[in-house]
Chains A and B, each alone.
Chain A
Amino acid sequence: MDIIGTVVTGIGVAFLFLGNLGVLRLPDVYNRIQAGTKCTTLGAFLTIIGVGIMEPIWFWKALLIALFVLVTNPISSHAIARASRKSGVSLCKQSVVDKSEDFDDFGENA
């Protein structure tokens, strides 16, 4: 059990590391949120579940915490992205399309 838990936690830590690397490497705030959401969701999920596997008494509590992270992480990233788009943070140079101006909430109608 200990070994399985350690491996699961290790994979989670690896994903967390890649997520952090993505935050450092990617060009603008939206792409950084991509890395910061995707990798940390699975990373945190696997880390917490791994702890739950190592200590079977905690498994259900760990699962509850992991599900909470899984539900709240997209919402927080959505809030940050929406706020930065509304306050006019521009996209990076590689961007090919920006349709947010058509949206009533954004652009000049806001």
Chain B
Amino acid sequence: MAQTVREETHRFRNFAYLFLFLFIIWLALTSSFYWQELIVGFSISFLLAVICHKNYLNLGLPPLGFKRIVFALVYIVVLFKEIVLANIDVAYRVIHPKMPIKPGIVVIKTELKQDIAKMILANSITLTPGTFTLDILGDKLLIHWINVQSQNVDEATKLIGERFEKYLKVIFA
């Protein structure tokens, strides 16, 4: 019994996320709050969410909570800071006459369980200074690093993944 209840809430959560996501996209595309547009957007988002929400059950989306929202917002700010730093870093390496690069492929570990969390971590690593993800297998990530500072798995994890993982762990706890 408890199992079915949990499954129901899980499905409802997926449905709500998908509906909100589609409706926000509709609002951004039409950029109008005219009531006829709103009704059409509402019904289309509702219909699509009803049809499609079962496809996303395996993603492991977390329930909504105040702490999670705050951490997600902080995470977005950190991510943008890292993106800007990444661009300046790579641009510096490109225009420097001697090209101070020291490339290599290293392995790091993650403690995240859900697929969606791993995907967000891998994409964030790709967007940050000098690193991008080649492959994920289980709890290991294969990373190409333009300026290798450590070949040890734990140290590399600390240097590359730590700054995102501490937020993602709370969001997907």
- Seen from chain A, the residues whose Cβ lies within 8 Å of a Cβ on chain B are 15, 18-19, 21-22, 25-28, 30-31, 33-35, 37-39, 41-43, 57, 59-61, 63-64, 70-71, 74-75, 77-78, 81-82, 85, 91-92, 94-100, 102-106
Contacts and interface: CB of A to CB of B under 8 A. Distances in A.
Contact of A41 (B95, B127, B151): B127
Nearest to A75: B123
B86 A38 contact: yes
Given A31-B103, A33-B132, A103-B140, A39 B91 contact: yes
A97 B28 CA distance: 46
B5 interface: no
Q: Which of A33, A74, A77, A102 has the most CB of B within 10 A?
A: A74
A35 B133 contact: no
Given A34-B130, A78-B134, A18 B103 contact: no
Contacts of A60: 27-29, 31
A75 B126 CA distance: 9
A78 B102 CA distance: 20
Interface of B: 25, 27-29, 31, 83-84, 86-87, 89-91, 93-95, 99, 101-107, 122-123, 126-127, 130, 132-135, 137, 140, 142, 144, 146, 148, 151
Contacts of A63: 28
B124 to A, nearest CB: 8
B102 A96 contact: yes
21 contacts: A19-B94, A22-B91, A22-B94, A25-B99, A26-B94, A27-B101, A28-B103, A38-B89, A41-B83, A41-B127, A42-B87, A71-B123, A78-B122, A81-B134, A85-B135, A91-B104, A95-B103, A95-B104, A99-B142, A103-B135, A106-B135
A94 to B, nearest CB: 6
A22 B134 CA distance: 20
Q: Which of B27, B122, B123, B140 has the most CB of A within 10 A?
A: B123
A34 B84 CA distance: 14
Contacts of A64: 25, 28-29
